[in-house]
Each structure stands twice: as structure tokens, then as C-alpha cells.
Structure 1
Amino acid sequence: MLVNTVAGTPAVTPDTRIGARKLLAMAGFRRLLLSRFASQWGDGLFQIGLAGAVIFNPERQPDAIAIAEAFTALLLPYSLVGPFAGALLDRWDRRRVLVVANLVRGVMVVVSAFAMATGASSTTLSLLALVVIGISRFVGSGLSASLPHVVPLTNLVEANALATTLGSVVTVIGAGCGVVLGGVYGTGDLGSGLTTGTAVVGSILAAWLAGRFVAGALGPDEVSEPAAAALAVLRGLLDGARAAWRAPAVTAGFIALIMHRAAFSASLLITVLLMRYYFHDSGPLRAGLPGLGEVAAFGAAGILLAGLTTARVVTWLGRNTAVATALVLAMATQLGLGLPMTLPSVLGAAFLLTYAGQVIKLCVDASVQRDIGDDARGRVFALYDTLFNMTSVIAAAVCAAFIPANGHSVTMVLAAAGLYVIGLAGYFGVLRLRRA
């Protein structure tokens, strides 16, 4: 096993870079990466199918409140149970959990696709989607918590950057496949159902790849009996919060990333409404569902750039300055490219905002993986997802209450920029307070 811990506390070691080729030469990392790819490809396809069915379906006319309600249905329930699921990642064999969770998700994808094809209500689709997305978040937490078992601690920043970045790009590829299939099958109920049902392939493949690991290879270091795990579920939220609070870099990183998620969620709602009701095709650029695909593509480019540069930026500036720089870049992007609210500027903003957000996320991921012991890492990652899902829900709800029907709102863009200022102050404020 490649984890170096003493009594559950990771040894603090400097980050080093060995290159993608050497990382991919590690069989365990390569297999975990492929499982992530399969899972996230299915996620991208499922999400674009859902968007086609609920938001861009010509048979439905959602407003800002309806879209915000869909966000709530997708994220809020898992936000409440996420940290408790994390307790299972810290006490049950993660390999088995990943296999079972992917298979269950596959079943729910098929059920959701059938509901879409038969014209189920938006509320029903949202309820089914929240189960699928919730399981996907659980799988993502399991994959992140398993990473220190397949690469050395000294290479976590680089390995996490590679896995997270390429995984996000694969998600966008899955979404692109969904756009293509939507063009073939149509964006009506039946077409959306057929598109979404294809996502089951990713779940099945992800389960098979996870099953190729030897039992116990992905941790945790100590596997408990189901009764002990059930007891741990009841205190999962508190355990995760305590573990995060004991690591100042993790706590400060959570503040920065929460502010980014709030600003990004508001920006996403604005973008969806602009694409649906305000923008029109402009030369080679498209509005509507294809336009949302273009936003995803520009976002993927930003994520890819972050994956290629974050390790170098952290080495050059240090993790704290890298996070601060990313927050400043995101704020400037909101003001410089978000305010014009034109189709080209929105695409540019998508690129830079996702780049900045991914830099922050990679730094926070590395802090959790390095500074949190293996006995609590799964719960902290689940808490991580929970906090950010809750933030997304609240930000979307607040934005929906004030934004015009077509999404064109200077006030909301300025508010999103202000959130990055709060994130910057909170990040350094927590670091100074904890060090004192």
C-alpha cells in the first residue's frame, strides 16, 4: 500500500512531479482512472439528457424558478445524506462500495430514461435524477478517497490534477455525445429518454473496472463490520466536520471553494436562461441546447488547462497564493466577460471561470488527501460534496428570486463577482486565525 500514515495522520511530505507517463505506469492508478472515466462519461450523458428533457424540451417552458427547483431536487437530498454515506467509505471495502454503487446507478439510469420517454412530469424526473446524481457524487467521493492507495503521497497533487482534469473533460465528452444523440433522436420526451438510457453503459463499465481491484486494495486501512459502519453513519456529519476543522488548509480551502460554487451556480443559472430565452445564433456560435454544449466545451478547455498548469502554479507560487490568484482571476472574469452578456463573452467567461475554479478545487482536493487521515477522508470528501451542493442550491434559489425571465441581469453578475472578494478574505482570514 502506498499510503504513509501514523495513527491515521498523514505524514507531511512535499509535493513532487514525476510526469503523466510515470503516473499512468502505476497499474492501480491507471485502473482507477479508467473507472472514473467510465463513470463521468455516463454522468455527462445523463445530465445533458436531463437538460434536454426538462430545460430545452420544446414540450416544456421552464422559468428561472422551475430551473432552480430542479437544482434543488438534484442536489439538496444528497446534501443531507452525503456525509453519512461518507462513513461507509471509511469503514467498508471501497472496492465493493464502488461496484455496488455503480450498478445501482445503472438501474436508476434505466428507470429515469423510461420515465422521460413516457412523458413523466418534471417533478418525477427531478426526483429520479436526484437519486442518480446522488449516487454519482457518492462514487466520486469514493474514487477521491481511494487515490492515496494507488499513488504515493508526494505525487497526490499531480495525480489528483490529472485524474480530476481528465475526468472532467470526459464528462464534457459524455455531454457532447448527449448533444449528438439528441440531434439524432430529438429533444422531445422519447428522444431524451433514448439519449439518457445510453448512459447506463458508463455505469456498467465503471463497476466492472472497480471490480478488477483486489478486495481491500482501495482502503480503508481498517474495515469494520456492518454494525460498526451503521453506527458511524449516525455521526458522519460531525466526524467529517471535526476532521476538516483540525486541518487549517482544508478549512480555509472550503471557504474559498464555497464562495466559488455560489458564484458559479448563479452564473450557470444566468447562462442557462440566456441560452434558452435571450441569445440567438451568431455566426458559428449557437444558442439553445447546442449553445449549452459550447459552454461545456469551453469549460472543458479551462479544466484541461488547469490540469496541465496547476501543479506548476502551486510549485511556483505556493498553494495559498495559487488559490488567491484563482479567486482574483474569477472576479475579474465576472466583471470583464460576464457583464457584457453576449454569446462570445459568455463562452470566454466559461473558459476562465472553470479554469480558476478547477485550480481552487485541485488545491483543496490535495489538502484533503494529504492532511486528512485515511480513517476520516471519505467523510470529509462527502462533507465536501454536501457543503458545495447546499451552496449551489441556495445560490440558485436566491438568484432565481431576483433574475429577469430572460436571464439578463447586471446586478446578479456584480453579486457573483462580490462573492469572490468574500472568498478571498475568508480564505486568508481562516488561515491567520487557525495559525494564531
Structure 2
Amino acid sequence: MKLDSQPERAPVLRELRGLLRGTGFRQLLTVRLLSQFADGVFQIGLATYVVFAPEQETSPGDIAAAMAVLLLPYSLLGPFAGVLLDRWRRRQVLFYGNLLRCGLVAASCTLILGGAPDWLFYLSALLVTAVNRFILAGLSAALPRVVEREQLVVANSLSPTAGTLAATVGGGGAFLVQLLANSQGAQDTLALLLAAAIYLLAGFSALRMGRDQLGPDDDALAHDLRAALVTTGRGLLGGLRHLGQRRTAAGALAGVGMMRFSYGALLVTVLMLCRYSWDDGGDEGVALLGIAVGVSGAGFFVAAVLTPWLVTRLGQLGWYVCCALAASVLVPALGLSFQPAPMLVAAFVLGFVSQSAKIVTDTVVQSSVSDTFRGRVFALYDMLYNIAFVGAAGVAALILPSDGRSPALLCLVSLVYLLTAALIHRLRRAVSRETAPPRGTATSRETSTSREAATGDATAAS
């Protein structure tokens, strides 16, 4: 039966308006927007310092090494941070975490101006990234505390996507700020100072929410930090066991990890193309990188608008499968020319499908994981995200030539997207069998979608 799009679109818009009327949701969204805007500024400042500095002959291996230094240490410790997130008041994490990032970014500025060794700069950037993982996991774990359960799909469409768009705008702001300086060092410093100022605003904006508003519940709080650290290992195992009992959530996480791997490999490809193939010695490469970030952000925005509507038509996992399949076809179709125009179209498509898959994954995890374990599971989620990203950079370093043109890597990425589609399709069929009504019961597309939206509870009960 063909569904009328207008009646479906209207409830989504009503839910969106209802979300924005919620004071708690608006306050949490403000913290996210400011934090991720500053993230975008910081990341562009870091990228231009590492990749585009004239005195550095950057290779794919250099980019992979930088990603490993910045992401792997925290990735391996991420689940332990999740245990602390389930014991610390999340509003305080947002407040103190952003203040700490402000100080660390300011320290990075002094290192650039003072000509300090690169390892000191990387250490400072590593600490900023580590705190950032606390902030993002805390924001995701806190979201169900400010919205109703039935609003989670729309909330996950708006909130993380709006944060990603804020990061994109922040990256554009960094490019604009850098135009005010004459030297590379001064450009990077100005961008980092802007990031520090926005981190400070983000920290104080968290104080608009109540101390206990974002949880966790009082019975989950550990007043003795030493005791909390001693039980971290047990808590990690408990979080893994809890996730293991939620097959749909675990499968969605595996799929999003595979898509993140693909996205990371393509990001390194675009960086090398901008640095060497699309740059004639001026600022063309940096400009094209900025455009790529912008069109990818446009894809995130479109995903936020369309995903709730498409989920009502195809179901959460059905739309997930469509995203992975589309990417598997369009990556080689658009990328094998290695020309700027089709690659920019590919950046939009990948932004769209990646954010759509993340919206679905966030909703599945939040719906099927109890609040007591949610911080740990999102920290595991974060660890998977980072390891997949760094692994992709490592694989790209082994395959990519210095100019970034590698048909073999694009074909590998296309295959990973195809395998992701197969994995999620198999998971969807298993879930449909488990939640199928008794024989003879009438079903409809809307009923099937409703069952899939409640998959987390059905899986937990099984």
C-alpha cells in the first residue's frame, strides 16, 4: 500500500516543535551546539597545522599516525570512562569538561607560538580529544532524560545532526578566522583561540540545567571515587554483558562501526587529494577541503530532515540497509574519476547516509539499553567509532599513493558498505521473526514499523 507522505510528515513536524518547546531539551541542545561548534574550529585548526603546513611533506602514514596518537589511547580507555559517566552527574561532566578543554586549547596556542616540539602539541591535542569523548558520550547518555521515549527518533535526528552541522559551521568559521592572519602559525593560533572561547561558553551554558537533571539516578552515583575506580573493570564487563543481551543494539553498533571505517578511509583519500592532486601551490586544496566539509554537512542536515519520515515508511533497520546499499553503489560511481566535482557529490551522499545510520543506531541503543548502563554502552560505542576510524586511516596508509588516487581503496570501501547492508538486512529479518504476530493477525506497513521501533524492548525481553 502506498502511503501518503503528507500525513506522515505532519506528525514529524509536530514532534519536532514539541521537542523544541521542551526547556530541558533546548538547554542540552545549546550545550551540544556550542561544544561541537568549538570542536569544528579546533579540528580545522589541527588539520591545517598537521596537513597543510608548507614545511611538512604530509603522507597518508603521517595522517594515520596523527589519528592513532589522538584517538587510540582514549579509545582503549573509553569504556572505563563510561563507568565514570554512570557515576558522575552528567551536568557536571559537561561543565568541567568544557572548561578543561578551554584551558588545554589555550595551552596548544602557546605551544604553536613558542615553536615547541610537535610531540608536546600532540599531547595537548590528545587531552582535548580525550575530554571530547566524555562530552559526546555524556550528551548522548543524557538525551533520554530530557525527552520522552517516543520522541527519541526525532530527538536523535535533530540533536546529534545539529551538533554535526555546528561543527561544520565551526570549521568554516576557522577558515574565515585564518584569513585574518598572514602566517601559518598565526592562522592556526587564531583558530584555536576561537575554539577556546567557545568551549568556555559551552561550559557555562551547562549551568542552566539542574545539577541532577541529566542523571544518573541517585542509586547509581558513587560518592567514593576510589571505590568507583576499583569497580571499573566489573562495570565494564557488566556493560558488555548488558549489550550482549540486546542483539539489535549490538548489531546496529557493528554496522555503524563498518560505516565509520569506510568514512575514515575516504576522509584520508580526500585529504591527500586536496593536499597534492587538487592544489596548484596556492590555497586551492584548503578551499576544496572547506567545500567538502560544507557539502558533507549539508548531507547531515538532509539526513536529519528525512530520516524520521523514511523510518516511518521503511522501518529503522530497513532505512539503515538502504543507506549502506546506496553508499556501496555511489562510492565507486562518483569517486573513481578522482575529480573535485563528483567527489564533492560523494561527500554529500556519504554525509547523508552516515548520519542517517548514526541516527538509527543512537535510537536503537537508547531504546534498548537501561539508564544504569547507558553511559558504559555509549562509551563502548565511542571506542568502536574511534578504533574503526583509526583502522581505516591505517589501511589507507598502506594502500594510498601520495596523490590520493587509489581505485583499489574505493573498491574496498564499496565492499565494506555492501557487507554492512547484508549484516543489517540479516538482523532485520531475525528481529521480524522474533516480533511477528500470531498467524492470522492482520499486519500493515505501519504495524511493522512500530514493532521495529520497539525492537530494543523485545530483544531485552528475549
Q: TM-score, normalised by structure 1?
A: 0.92
Q: Which residue of 2 aligns with 1:5?
A: none
- The AA in structure 2 aligned to 1:56 is F
- The AA in structure 1 aligned to 2:389 is S
Q: Which residue of 1 aligns with 2:460?
A: none
Q: Which residue of 2 aligns with 1:203?
A: 199
- The AA in structure 2 aligned to 1:112 is S
Q: Is the 8 A contact 1:40 1:202 kept in 2?
A: no
Q: Which residue of 2 aligns with 1:157?
A: 153
The alpha-carbon deviation at position 391 of structure 1 amounts to: 0.9
Per-residue deviation, residues 64-84 of structure 1 (Å, max 9, x unmatched):
111110111111011011111
Aligned residue pairs: how many?
A: 418
Q: Which residue of 2 aligns with 1:279?
A: 278
Deviates more, 1:194-203 or 1:313-322: 194-203
Distance 1:187 1:81 in 2: 37
Q: Which residue of 2 aligns with 1:13?
A: none
SS at structure 1 position matched to 2:321: helix
Match of 2:47 among 51, 54, 63: 51
Per-residue deviation, residues 201-248 of structure 1 (Å, max 9, x unmatched):
221111111122111100111322124422343334423322222212
Q: Which residue of 1 aligns with 2:141?
A: 145
Q: Which residue of 2 aligns with 1:11?
A: none
Per-residue deviation, residues 157-187 of structure 1 (Å, max 9, x unmatched):
1011111111111101100010011121246
Q: Is the 8 A contact 1:248 1:431 kept in 2?
A: no
The answer on 1:78 being equivalent to 2:78 is no
Structure of higher CA gyration radius: 2
- The AA in structure 1 aligned to 2:255 is A
RMSD between aligned residues: 1.8
Q: Is the 8 A contact 2:37 2:167 kept in 1?
A: yes
Unaligned runs of 5+ in 2: 1-10, 435-462
| Counterparts in 2 of 1:291 and 1:393: CA distance versus 1, 3 Å | same
The answer on 1:344 being equivalent to 2:345 is no
Deviates more, 1:119-128 or 1:267-276: 119-128
Q: Is the 8 A contact 2:325 2:417 kept in 1?
A: yes
Q: Which residue of 2 aligns with 1:4?
A: none
- The AA in structure 1 aligned to 2:397 is A
Distance 2:210 2:196 in 1: 24
Q: Is the 8 A contact 2:331 2:414 kept in 1?
A: yes
Q: Which residue of 1 aligns with 2:169?
A: 173
Q: Which residue of 2 aligns with 1:411?
A: 408
| Counterparts in 2 of 1:237 and 1:430: CA distance versus 1, 3 Å | farther
Match of 1:136 among 127, 132, 136: 132
Match of 1:318 among 306, 315, 319: 315
SS at structure 2 position matched to 1:340: coil
Q: Which residue of 1 aligns with 2:350?
A: 353
The alpha-carbon deviation at position 338 of structure 1 amounts to: 1.5
The alpha-carbon deviation at position 297 of structure 1 amounts to: 0.2
SS at structure 1 position matched to 2:404: coil
Distance 2:239 2:292 in 1: 34
| Counterparts in 2 of 1:236 and 1:114: CA distance versus 1, 3 Å | farther
1:26-425 pair list within 5 angstroms: 26-186=22-182, 188-222=184-218, 223-225=221-223, 226-280=225-279, 287-425=284-422
Distance 2:311 2:383 in 1: 26
Q: Is the 8 A contact 2:292 2:347 kept in 1?
A: yes
Distance 1:120 1:307 in 2: 42
SS at structure 2 position matched to 1:408: coil
Distance 1:421 1:121 in 2: 43
Distance 1:265 1:92 in 2: 32
The alpha-carbon deviation at position 432 of structure 1 amounts to: 5.7
SS at structure 2 position matched to 1:184: coil
Distance 1:183 1:241 in 2: 47
